[in-house]
A and B are shown apart, each in its own frame.
Chain A
């Protein structure tokens, strides 16, 4: 089951069994955003606190999903805490580049231009590298990106609100 071991790396199973930042934040002040994978019914809820310096001060993940969506969201929550929104966006782009998402049909505004890709490819992904094996299982890419798309939506809403 060599293919499966590429998909289900030990660190992924660890995040699945012991998800980081699982739970809820009082909203408001936190922003609460829901994401859905219409294919499998997975639902994810991202709670995020952003301070006046555009820094993610806290994040919690709710909802339910498969090992890939849960582990990816767990790793994401650990990776983005303390980062600025711009840094989170860069990290998101790097992650999606790793997921080989060049299509626009993955949901949301996912089109990554080649310029952005080359500019962000070298950003260190740390534990998130473990999700690289998901690319070999195309139907699971949406599982891996569900949390990220939901966070992206939350950030977009945050920026729109701040701009007003």
Chain B
């Protein structure tokens, strides 16, 4: 067993907190390598959610009774935890959404609608997930916006050689912090300063980075940062939009309804201030509480320790897969583990990703085949699909060994 790596990171102990990982499939230990799509969650998160439903549930922000006050305190407590976790200057800069996709739609639908006019340009990168492409394309079609694309090198790093030209006259840059296909960590320092110098605001899709490394939105310097709860040990149905207070104050509401108003008359309405302005309707109360518990759990392990563990595991995986599969495998993304997250997109020679995933399932190895909601990037790489393995704090070298062994089996199964 190699459950504890050289950093002293105790995966065996962590795995005890994740009951779902303690199962077999056809006699084999389940190997879960799909956390980039959605992570698993520890008992502590499930207990926090159960406890909220069992002892402290009522709708928030409305009731005068003590039960409702407890529920409101738990919900707002989760907002404070999120703010602390990402280094926000105030919990009022944290808006709860359904997921990161909704958070991006909120930015485009509210900030974009209020600030972009025909002919304006928005800059995206070729690494983006569809969630950071389609909302902009929808507004572009309506407003006749120009969308410009930051190209990508063959190793998955962004090509910033023409960045200033691309940003010239642009109103917004919306870019991923870490690619969900190649694991590329983008050069946010350079991107943010160049965009601001050009007068563009910066939106960061941090779905893949926030779960895996320490994040400080104030130091990052962006204008908006979005991420989702279910990729960071939290439940589904909860996402986060962090926005600079001055932006959130100036932006019009996104969804209308209860909870987001100060006053409503037959003539019209007066919106509440942020974050309530952007949280129409009953929010995902217990999901937010679950996210708060996930953050407590992550902080108890330590984000720097998690990052170091994943860098080591990624380095091991890159060595192991290259050694075992040689020229029959192509691994996308930067070769240097420190320049990437624990996401390995793989092309196996002569075996389609769908077939790879099918054979791996026989070995109880869960990976993801497909375009990973990044079709422009897949087209750039000239592939229809890749097989993607992704790591988290509960994965260890045994998981990587099982991945390598099952990939060899897949290659040999389809060998002529």
A residues bordering B, Cβ < 8 Å? 1, 3-4, 7-8, 13, 17, 39-43, 63-70, 137, 140, 143
Contacts and interface: CB of A to CB of B under 8 A. Distances in A.
10 contacts: A4-B358, A7-B358, A8-B355, A39-B370, A40-B370, A40-B384, A40-B385, A41-B370, A66-B385, A69-B354
Contacts of A42: 354, 384-385
A140 B354 CA distance: 9
B402 to A, nearest CB: 16
Given A39-B370, A66-B354, A67-B414, A4 B359 contact: yes
Nearest to B368: A40
B80 interface: no
A41 B378 contact: yes
A-B complex: 8 closest residue pairs judged by Cβ atoms: A41-B371, A66-B354, A66-B352, A40-B370, A41-B384, A41-B385, A64-B384, A67-B355
Contacts, number: 52
A7 B358 CA distance: 10
A137 to B, nearest CB: 7
Contacts of B362: 1, 3-4
A42 B358 CA distance: 16
Contact of A65 (B352, B371, B378, B416): B352
Contacts of B365: none
B15 interface: no
Given A1-B362, A70-B352, 17 more contacts: A3-B362, A7-B358, A8-B413, A13-B414, A40-B354, A40-B384, A41-B378, A41-B384, A42-B354, A42-B385, A43-B384, A65-B354, A66-B353, A66-B385, A67-B354, A68-B354, A137-B358
A11 to B, nearest CB: 15
Interface of B: 352-355, 358-359, 362, 369-371, 375, 378, 384-385, 413-414, 416
Contact of B355 (A17, A41, A43, A66): A66
A144 to B, nearest CB: 11
B353 A40 contact: yes
Contact of B352 (A1, A3, A67, A137): A67
A63 B375 CA distance: 15
Contacts of A39: 370
A40 B355 contact: no
B359 to A, nearest CB: 7
A143 B384 contact: no
B412 to A, nearest CB: 12
Contacts of A43: 384
A14 B370 CA distance: 23
Contacts of A64: 352, 384
Contacts of A8: 355, 413
A17 B358 contact: no
